[in-house]
């Protein structure tokens, strides 16, 4: 949820009930809905949230999202009504064909749905390894301090995979301990940052020699191109 004073916008509401509960608890008005892609666990709550409300729904131009009024694609910029936060749109296909991300101006926030996770990335349901690698590379180029708000709390499982891929990466070991402690305290591991992902996320590191060696060993043959390394890492993670 993006909030400014008595107004808020919600990103990827898979279920209306927790959103309504939070709005009521905080005493704020919902002024916009934002969707990154069409999967039900990200848009299932939109119809219920629109009942009795005349608010815009921003959604990918290339995907069908019920209730969408503003179709957006890379290069588009808009301001969340009543909140004053500006967002620019990036096309990041791979998880789905028309997936988009939103980058906030001012405080640097990235809302990336199921493309980039903390220490991981989404499965390739509709796109190709080439598309996903290009999309992740686009996100990796954002400033290191950018806060990453992704769609799911998969961090500890992703870090276990990252440690299997790069067992000698001290940053992964340190982050694993840090994030495990958060979960034991009942705290979320999110948001992460682009800087943390560059240091510990194997899917953003597929261009590095250590990752190529690890993925090649798993594949049983030499992988030279970053997209080949990425594709093998994704296959490895799918069965991990």
Query: Residues 12, 38, 91, 95: which is the catalytic one?
Result: 95
Q: Which of 38, 91, 99, 114 is catalytic?
A: 114
Per the residue annotation, which of 37, 91, 99, 196 is the catalytic one?
37
- The span from the CA of 227 to the CA of 233, in Å, is 10
Residues whose CB is less than 8 angstroms from the CB of residue 51 and which lie 6 or more positions away in sequence, other chains included: none
Under a CB-based contact definition with an 8 Å cutoff, are residues 36 and 58 in contact?
Answer: no
42 a catalytic residue? yes
Known catalytic membership, residue 218: no
Active site residue 114: yes
Q: Measuring CA to CA, how many Å separate 182 from each of 44, 99, 173, 194, 195? A: 29, 30, 15, 19, 19
Catalytic residue among 42, 91, 99, 196: 42
Contact 31, 58 (CB under 8 A): no
Is-contact 102 88, C-beta < 8 A? yes
What are the C-alpha distances in Å from 98 to residues 59, 81, 132, 166, 227?
Answer: 10, 24, 12, 31, 20
C-beta of residue 8 within 8 angstroms of C-beta of residue 83: yes
Residue 193, φ and ψ in degrees, nearest 5: -130, 160
Rounded CA-CA distance 156/143 in Å is: 24
Beta bridge partners, 77, equal 88
Exactly one of 39, 91, 99, 196 is catalytic; which is it?
Answer: 39
Hey, which residues are catalytic here? 37, 39, 41-42, 95, 114, 152
């Amino acid at each position: 949820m993006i909030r400014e004073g008595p107004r808020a916008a919600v990103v990827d509401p898979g279920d209306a009930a927790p959103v309504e509960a939070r709005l009521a608890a905080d005493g704020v008005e919902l002024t916009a809905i934002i969707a990154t892609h069409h999967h039900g666990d990200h848009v299932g709550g939109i119809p219920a949230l629109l009942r009795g409300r005349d608010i815009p729904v921003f959604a990918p131009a290339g995907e069908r999202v019920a209730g969408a009024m503003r179709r957006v694609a890379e290069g588009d910029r808009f301001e969340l009504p009543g909140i004053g936060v500006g967002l620019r749109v990036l096309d990041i296909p791979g998880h789905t064909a028309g997936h988009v991300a939103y980058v906030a101006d001012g405080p640097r926030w990235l809302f990336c749905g199921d493309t980039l996770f903390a220490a991981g990335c989404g499965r390739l349901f509709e796109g190709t390894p080439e598309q996903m690698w290009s999309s992740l590379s686009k996100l990796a180029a954002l400033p290191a301090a950018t806060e990453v708000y992704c769609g799911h709390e998969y961090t500890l499982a992703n870090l276990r995979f990252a440690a299997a891929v790069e067992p000698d990466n001290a940053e992964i070991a340190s982050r694993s301990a840090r994030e495990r402690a958060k979960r034991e305290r009942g705290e979320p591991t999110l948001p992460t940052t682009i800087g943390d992902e560059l240091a510990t996320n194997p899917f953003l590191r597929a261009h590095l020699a250590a990752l190529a060696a690890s993925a090649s060993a798993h594949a049983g043959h030499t992988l030279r191109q970053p997209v080949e390394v990425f594709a093998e890492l994704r296959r490895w993670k799918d069965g991990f």
